[in-house]
Structure 1
Amino acid sequence: MDQTIIVRVVSDAGRNRIEIDPRSTCEELKEIISAKIGIPARKIKLYADQGYRRPYKGTDSSSLKKAGFTNGAQVFVPAKNAKMQDIINVPKKADDEEEKIDTSTKAGGNPDEEGKEVPDGFEKKCSCGPTDKCLMCLGVTKDNFQDVDYKCHCVGSQKCPNCKDENLIQDVKHIPFEHHLSELRAKCKKKHTPDQRCQDCIPLVDISYKYKPGCTSHKPYPEGMCNKCIPEACILNRQKYRHVDYISILNYPELQKFVDYWLGGHCMEQRVAWLYGYYSEDPNYPEGVRANIEAVYDPPQIGEMNGFQILQDEKEVYVDMVATSLGLERVGWIYTSLNHESFLTPKEIREIARMQERFAIDHPEGVKVPKFVTIVVKPKGDSGESGLDCYMVSDQCQALERDNILEVSEDHTKLITREPEKNEMIANVIQEGKTVKEFDPEFFIVSLSNGQPIDAKEYSILKNYDFLAMNRQFQPNKNDAKDYINKHKSDSSTEKFANFQFLLYIIEKLDIDTVCALAEKIGKGEEVEDFIVELVESLAS
């Protein structure tokens, strides 16, 4: 670890974290970036600022150290055709494991797997190595683990092409979105010349169920219409792909406190919080995407027995600024629910669709795609415990909600379409060849896997989760800050303040610029300047 540095790459495709030897050349760094975003290395230019005005010094043959790269350095790459986000994981110790815990509820989980018995483990189907665990090792312990032949000698979070076994995804209902696109592109090979296009290789377009006004071929509707302006019918289909494949919970202690706070009120008031983290490649799926959760933030809210209301939050912009300085972004939300009748209610599905639309990101092919994940906390049986279920909704559902096709349903088991207003045309919803006004919401549910790394602190940005969360019954005060500072006084300057809730608290005591400067040092893993340390520690006096 002492001989490597972290380089944070920012491009049109998103953020990437790369671990590399500082003695490597700039050309070698470009080759790694090229493999991750799909841009030829010769076309990659490295800048130290977002405006692309300050290029890193040195030639391709210069070492990274000579070119000015330090641990946590941020690199901006102008790359319009960048393909996807990725991460090269920091190597863990040989005894590190990724623990896949059973967090699902009996009432929740995967609608595609309802009624299907889940075996204890799939040890013969995986190839993650004897010191690691993957999605197919769920429930495997040292007592029932069976030795198998491995194709590689990777340990911990390290992955190579040999350990990406196709058996890992043979039972998965939703394939990664980028892999789905690759399969479509593969179908059109040799079917036509390079300058032609077919249904499999045409550029992506956003799904739309809106009426297209302004057609000059006829009078305005209802006096006239044609195939060009009529809304496209929505043919209900289960989505084959998903934009996020796996959720890794790096801040399990903090998430547990969120759940405990809800349970402490006897589940009478539902709670909601934003999830902050980053996206990375998931080696268990071909071209898969993993959402890594590092922090939660409770916005101002009103909780009720059957739901919650998020209030206007004047501090939200500051929360996002601190998260960005840490190298994090808002990747999802978590909320509690007492719904036992279905996986998700129609109201929940519509709200998730709105959130995915709100936080959709730009895809290199020019469309918006969702990567905003949902974690639902529900009671787990009669034991007093709770479980987590992770979802997204399909692109089709998101488009129906965005284009105002759906309506409030009194039936908690059905989604319904609204009636068109006078002189209005809306899209029809078709199920099994028939136009329907109500339908099963499970058509739209996309289930995600989740798990918790055992030694998340080894490679997470945030190290501490022992400060009171904002916007709960007991607000943090000066004494809490004093206790926290004294508790971590002997820690390194990077680790002692690596607490998201503490950083949010000191915004009011200092100023947002100082806190962001502190957060940026934490995100880069660099020592904090003495004057900032003294300024923060003065809050304990």
Structure 2
Amino acid sequence: MIVRVRTKDGNFRFDLPSSADVSQLLKKILETTVDADDHSLTISNKPRGGEIPVLSLKGKSLKEIGINHGDLFFVQYQTKTQGATTPPEQSPSTIQVSGDIPHRPWESVQEDAVDVYWRSKDGKIPRQRDAQFCKHGPKGMCDYCMPLEPYDAAYHKEHGIKHLSYHSYLHQLTPKSSSDSASSLPPLNPLNYKVKIPCPAGNHPPWPASICTSCQPSAITLHSQSYRMVDHLEIASMEIIDRFLHAWRRTGSQRFGWLLGRYEPYDKVPMGIKAVVEAIHEPAQEGELDGLTLGLPWEDEPRIRALTAHASTPLTVVGYVFTDLVPTEEDRTKNVYKRHPQSFLMSSLEAIFAATMQSKNPTPSKSSYTGKFSSRLVTAILTATEDGQVDVSAYQVSEQAMAMVEADMIEASVDPGIVRLKEEDRTVDSARYIPDVFFTYKNEYGLEVKKSAKPAFPVEYLMVNVTHGFPQSPSPLFRSIQFPIENRQGLEDQTIESVLAQLARLDAPNIEDSRHAKPGNAHKTFALAKWLSDWHLISFLDTTQLLSPDDIRLLLKTVSSPTLLEDQNQLDPVLGTDGWQTLMTFAREHAPRPPMPSSMDEDDAIPQDVLDQIAAEEAATSGGVTPSTKTCPHCTFENDSIRSDCDVCGLPL
């Protein structure tokens, strides 16, 4: 077959069999170049972008990597006289070298379980036999009833699906008919709007001293992204959001939290993916009435990620949520409706923050030559509806937004619905190149018009909508959300004393009681199991060092089991650990002492007049009313009736 190659030395045609190794093509290319460094030689099927080092493809045949008769490829290289030993800027971060054998990063990627699931499916959309047009038998098939491809445009329009799912998009890029080989070149090429350093042409000093068409990024046309990495955000129960809002209701200050959950298939979209939120972890922050201050990088992130991975169903950080709620002056029970299509849905500052966070949390992908592509991190905003109530809005930002932020091209504007392009900067310390940027829109005559994005453009061009909702039959991994939440100093304080007091209050059973459960003690084990099944409690215990790392992991895996409340015997391994026994020892020491026996020796008896005086003083203090107790509805601890907050859990009585 004929393979066409274009280099800076000219256009060439090579006659090679389809079974030929890539090394044979490399040899042919080197014969047409002038002193080329084979380590810097890259190949792509388009003039700009998608360059892959040729050495990384050694051992594959031309047919295996998707080269067919008549295909045109673009080759770039540096000469040996330039001292080049690595490919252009993108390659060192994506190619690992062991000796002289480059490594293909996309082949060793460990994808998420939901990606493994969808790669095992063809994604076809089944259709029933059409009674009007199908003339064949029940086992036949025709154009009217054959399954549709997951990216079928008519199906998406009919069902109101705005974006393709990630795996539908992959099927659209690489239809099975064009390449049935799993070892073909990855179809995805992450966007890069940075200047290539060093220049592939290699005939001038690197940027910012000089620039040419070979190393400068091409002009950018902003468009609505056709696909999305996550199709739906599902929050395991409404209580998770309600508990998160508790701090805002008490203080009026805005709050931020990381969404902990997992990714699952979503059946409302062809080959869809949903992010299921099981808990919200709140980092250290300073809330204000109109915003908040957040410390980045998140210092506790490594510990939280390591801990969540040991849940019964492994969890990870699937996104973040923050509040933007301001009560109205007329009715403090309602909030200002300020996010709507005529105003803004996501501010430019929030979009840039989302792009930064998504860039730091890329999605592992076998379909990208870097082994990573875009991100599944979801942005959730708690804001007011038109009637003043609180609702959730979910978004992502596009791959173009991520690339523009990585290239330091955009900044926030005073107008929240507008994104500004930065000025070009050729200083050595902060070199920044801004290519031409355009966006298209329909004018008043319905015609599509292209307009320059300088100096600013609407933030909508960077956004991707994500649907959201709650399950009809909630079944969260964590059954309790009553333990005080982290980093709410002064409002809810996490202390080991409150944990020990609650354990004593629950009269937690030891291992012998659990194994030989008495009929009257079954409710105690049930209450203990439910109380322990709280993410914030587990996370706090992980910081106390009272339990070993192994004990904490066992505790988390046990209390997040879907069948924990139906079978409390699952607690037995936890109750038998040394860490639990140590915890219970402290709890028993912390427990209140039993009442004095009714029969006392005469020498120890308190005179009656003294008792009468104490009773009179207590009655005077309480206004003549005998003091009573008030049971906390959250942790069942009995508090003085005059208290407004629980002495143990800190929640309102």
Q: TM-score by structure 1 length? A: 0.63
**Alpha-carbon offset, residue 360 of structure 1:** 1.5
Distance 1:528 1:273, change over 3 A: farther
User: 2:473 matched to 1:455?
Assistant: yes
Distance 1:255 1:375, change over 3 A: same
Distance 1:168 1:499, change over 3 A: farther
Match of 2:461 in 1: 443
Equivalent residues in 2 for 1:366-385 (5 A)? 366-381=371-386, 383=388, 385=389
Contact kept? 1:359, 1:372, Cα under 8 Å = yes
Gaps spanning 5+ residues in structure 1: where? Answer: 1-77, 90-126, 128-160
In the aligned structure 2, how far is the partner of 1:504 from the partner of 1:195? 42
User: 2:214 matched to 1:228?
Assistant: yes
Residues 435-475 of structure 1 deviation map (CA, whole Å, 9 limit, x = unaligned) = 32210001111111111123322xx3222212111111221
Distance 1:465 1:287, change over 3 A: same
Matched residue SS, 2:114: coil
In the aligned structure 2, how far is the partner of 1:517 from the partner of 1:508? 15
In the aligned structure 1, how far is the partner of 2:413 from the partner of 2:467? 29
Distance 1:194 1:228, change over 3 A: farther
Contact kept? 2:110, 2:364, Cα under 8 Å = no
Tell which structure's C-alpha radius of gyration is larger. Answer: 2
In the aligned structure 2, how far is the partner of 1:492 from the partner of 1:88? 38
Equivalent residues in 2 for 1:162-241 (5 A)? 170-186=159-175, 189=177, 203-215=187-199, 216-220=201-205, 221=207, 225-241=211-227
Question: Which residue, out of 509, 526, 546, partners 1:491?
Answer: 526
Match of 1:331 in 2: 318
Equivalent residues in 2 for 1:3-22 (5 A)? none
In the aligned structure 2, how far is the partner of 1:498 from the partner of 1:195? 43
Match of 2:555 in 1: 518
**Alpha-carbon offset, residue 368 of structure 1:** 2.7
Residues 308-348 of structure 1 deviation map (CA, whole Å, 9 limit, x = unaligned) = 11236654433333212112111111101145331011101
In the aligned structure 1, how far is the partner of 2:183 from the partner of 2:585? 67
Match of 1:9 in 2: none
Match of 1:48 in 2: none
In the aligned structure 2, how far is the partner of 1:455 from the partner of 1:535? 38
Distance 1:537 1:388, change over 3 A: farther
User: 2:418 matched to 1:402?
Assistant: no
Residues 278-322 of structure 1 deviation map (CA, whole Å, 9 limit, x = unaligned) = 111112211111101001111110112332112366544333332
Distance 1:184 1:319, change over 3 A: closer
**Alpha-carbon offset, residue 508 of structure 1:** 3.5
Contact kept? 2:186, 2:366, Cα under 8 Å = no
Gaps spanning 5+ residues in structure 2: where? Answer: 1-105, 118-126, 128-146, 326-337, 441-449, 507-522, 563-569, 589-653
Distance 1:292 1:227, change over 3 A: same
* Amino acid corresponding to residue 385 of structure 2 in structure 1: K
In the aligned structure 2, how far is the partner of 1:88 from the partner of 1:426? 39
Matched residue SS, 2:576: helix
In the aligned structure 2, how far is the partner of 1:196 from the partner of 1:177? 20
In the aligned structure 2, how far is the partner of 1:524 from the partner of 1:230? 54
Distance 1:87 1:168, change over 3 A: farther
Distance 1:456 1:483, change over 3 A: farther
User: 2:535 matched to 1:500?
Assistant: yes
* Amino acid corresponding to residue 373 of structure 1 in structure 2: V
* Amino acid corresponding to residue 226 of structure 1 in structure 2: C
Distance 1:480 1:223, change over 3 A: closer
Matched residue SS, 2:309: helix
In the aligned structure 1, how far is the partner of 2:182 from the partner of 2:576? 61
Residues 56-87 of structure 1 deviation map (CA, whole Å, 9 limit, x = unaligned) = xxxxxxxxxxxxxxxxxxxxxx9847765339
Contact kept? 1:207, 1:396, Cα under 8 Å = yes
In the aligned structure 2, how far is the partner of 1:225 from the partner of 1:257? 54
In the aligned structure 2, how far is the partner of 1:461 from the partner of 1:406? 40
Contact kept? 1:302, 1:311, Cα under 8 Å = no
Residues 221-263 of structure 1 deviation map (CA, whole Å, 9 limit, x = unaligned) = 5775433211122211000111001111114212211113212
Contact kept? 1:208, 1:232, Cα under 8 Å = no
Contact kept? 2:188, 2:373, Cα under 8 Å = no
Contact kept? 2:263, 2:273, Cα under 8 Å = yes
Match of 1:428 in 2: 436
In the aligned structure 1, how far is the partner of 2:366 from the partner of 2:483? 39
Distance 1:87 1:234, change over 3 A: closer
Matched residue SS, 2:401: helix
- How many residues in Structure 1 have an aligned counterpart in Structure 2? 384
Distance 1:183 1:346, change over 3 A: same
In the aligned structure 1, how far is the partner of 2:183 from the partner of 2:306? 45
Matched residue SS, 1:343: coil
Matched residue SS, 1:446: strand
In the aligned structure 2, how far is the partner of 1:431 from the partner of 1:314? 38
Q: TM-score by structure 2 length? A: 0.53
Match of 1:85 in 2: 113
* Amino acid corresponding to residue 321 of structure 2 in structure 1: I
Matched residue SS, 1:279: strand
